[in-house]
Structure 1
C-alpha cells in the first residue's frame, strides 16, 4: 500500500500519529493486536479498507 501511494513509512507514521517503530511492527506482521482507532486512521490515510491491510493466519 505504501508503494502504491508513493509514501514512506515515516510519512505514514506522521500522518497516522504513531511511532515508526510501532508502524514497522504492524508492517512486518509481528503485532499481536491493533487498536481500532489506529486501524481506522491507517485506512483513512491510505484510502483503503481494513481487509486490504489485514490477513488471518490461524497458526
Structure 2
C-alpha cells in the first residue's frame, strides 16, 4: 500500500522538494531510485523515495 512519496529535483543552484505523507506511520520501508542526467553540461540529479507500509 503506497502511503506517501517525496521527490527531490536538484540542479547546481536549485533544490526542489515535493512530497506528501498521507498517514503518520510507525514503521515504513523506503524504496529509493536515483537518476543522474547531464543536460547541457549541467548535472541534474533526481531521487525518488516511495514509502510503503511494513505489514
TM-score by length of 1: 0.18
Larger helix fraction of residues: 1
Higher gyration radius (CA)? 2
TM-score by length of 2: 0.18
Larger strand fraction of residues: 2
